[in-house]
Chains A and B, each alone.
Chain A
Amino acid sequence: MIALPSPLLITSMAAALLAGFVCSTVGIFVVRMNLSSIGYCMSHAAFAGAAFGIMAAIDPLVGAVIFSLGTALLIGPLGEKAKLESNVIIGFLFSVTIALAFIFLSMIPGQAASGTALRILWGSIFAVTHQMVLLLLLLAAALLAFVILFYKEIVAVLFHRKLAEAAGVNTTVFYFAILFFTAAAVSLSLRLVGGLLVFALIVNPTSTAYQFFYDFKKIVVASPLVGMASCLAGFFLSLLTDFPVGASIVIVSAGGFAASIAVSPKRRRGGSAAS
Chain B
Amino acid sequence: MSANTSDPAVVLRNIAAVYEGERVPAIYDINFTVKQGELVSIIGPNGAGKTTLLETINGLLAYTAGQGYVFGKDIAVHSRMLRKHIGYVIQNFDIDALAPFLARDVVMSGRVGAIGPLRFPRPSDWHVVRDKMELVGMSSFSSRPAGKLSGGEFQKLLLARALAQEPRLLLLDEPFSHLDISARRQMSELLSRVNRTQEVTMVMVSHDLQSVPAACSRVVVMDRGRIIMQGAREEMISSAAVASIFREGDT
CA distance A153 to B110 in the complex (A): 10
Which of B87, B102, B115, B121 gathers the greatest number of chain A CB atoms within 10 Å? B102
Is the pair B84, A167 in contact by a Cβ cutoff of 8 Å?
yes
Show the binding face of A for B, using Cβ within 8 Å: 32, 81, 83, 149-153, 155-156, 158-160, 162-170, 210, 213-216, 219, 266
- Given known pairs A155-B109, A156-B112, A216-B105, the reply for A168 and B83 (CB within 8 Å) is yes
- Given known pairs A155-B109, A162-B90, the reply for A214 and B102 (CB within 8 Å) is yes
- 16 extra interchain contacts, Cβ-Cβ under 8 A, other than A164-B112, A167-B88? A151-B120, A152-B112, A153-B117, A156-B110, A159-B101, A159-B109, A160-B93, A164-B113, A165-B83, A167-B113, A167-B114, A167-B165, A214-B98, A214-B99, A215-B105, A216-B102
Is the pair A210, B90 in contact by a Cβ cutoff of 8 Å?
no
Q: Can you spell out 13 A-B residue pairs with CB atoms less than 8 angstroms apart? A: A149-B118, A152-B112, A152-B121, A155-B112, A160-B93, A162-B90, A163-B93, A165-B60, A167-B109, A167-B114, A168-B113, A170-B80, A215-B102
Is the pair B100, A216 in contact by a Cβ cutoff of 8 Å?
yes
* Closest Cβ neighbor of B167 among chain A residues: A167
Which of B106, B109, B117, B146 gathers the greatest number of chain A CB atoms within 10 Å? B109
Is the pair B102, A163 in contact by a Cβ cutoff of 8 Å?
no
The 4 closest A-B pairs by CB, nearest first: A168-B113, A214-B145, A168-B84, A156-B109
- Given known pairs A213-B100, A214-B100, A215-B100, the reply for A166 and B112 (CB within 8 Å) is no
Q: Is the interface of A mostly helix, strand, loop or mixed?
A: helix
B111 CB contacts on chain A under 8 angstroms: 167
Number of A-B contacts (CB under 8 A): 92
Tell which of B98, B102, B161 touches A266, judged by Cβ atoms closer than 8 Å.
Answer: B98
- How distant is A167 from chain B, measured CB to nearest CB, in Å? 4
- Given known pairs A155-B109, A162-B90, A163-B109, the reply for A168 and B114 (CB within 8 Å) is yes
CA distance A168 to B60 in the complex (A): 10
B25 contacts chain A at the CB level, 8 A cutoff: no
Is the pair B60, A162 in contact by a Cβ cutoff of 8 Å?
yes
- How distant is A266 from chain B, measured CB to nearest CB, in Å? 5
- How distant is B251 from chain A, measured CB to nearest CB, in Å? 29
* Closest Cβ neighbor of A28 among chain B residues: B100
* Closest Cβ neighbor of B116 among chain A residues: A168
B118 CB contacts on chain A under 8 angstroms: 149
* Closest Cβ neighbor of A163 among chain B residues: B90
Is the pair B101, A214 in contact by a Cβ cutoff of 8 Å?
yes
- Given known pairs A152-B115, A170-B80, the reply for A164 and B109 (CB within 8 Å) is yes
* Closest Cβ neighbor of B85 among chain A residues: A168
- How distant is A217 from chain B, measured CB to nearest CB, in Å? 8
A151 CB contacts on chain B under 8 angstroms: 120
Tell which of A159, A162, A170, A210 touches B106, judged by Cβ atoms closer than 8 Å.
Answer: A159
- How distant is A10 from chain B, measured CB to nearest CB, in Å? 35
B241 contacts chain A at the CB level, 8 A cutoff: no
- How distant is A150 from chain B, measured CB to nearest CB, in Å? 7
B75 contacts chain A at the CB level, 8 A cutoff: no
CA distance A164 to B21 in the complex (A): 24
B26 contacts chain A at the CB level, 8 A cutoff: no
CA distance A149 to B118 in the complex (A): 6
A215 CB contacts on chain B under 8 angstroms: 100, 102, 105
Which of B87, B93, B99 gathers the greatest number of chain A CB atoms within 10 Å? B99
Is the pair A152, B83 in contact by a Cβ cutoff of 8 Å?
no
Tell which of A149, A152, A162, A266 touches B109, judged by Cβ atoms closer than 8 Å.
Answer: A152
- How distant is A241 from chain B, measured CB to nearest CB, in Å? 34
Tell which of A150, A162, A210 touches B100, judged by Cβ atoms closer than 8 Å.
Answer: A210
Q: Which of B117-140 contact A (CB under 8 A)?
A: 117-118, 120-121
* Closest Cβ neighbor of A160 among chain B residues: B93
CA distance A81 to B111 in the complex (A): 26
B105 CB contacts on chain A under 8 angstroms: 155, 159, 215-216
Is the pair B101, A150 in contact by a Cβ cutoff of 8 Å?
no
CA distance A149 to B90 in the complex (A): 27
B108 contacts chain A at the CB level, 8 A cutoff: yes
Is the pair B112, A167 in contact by a Cβ cutoff of 8 Å?
yes
B110 CB contacts on chain A under 8 angstroms: 156, 163, 167
Is the pair B93, A168 in contact by a Cβ cutoff of 8 Å?
no
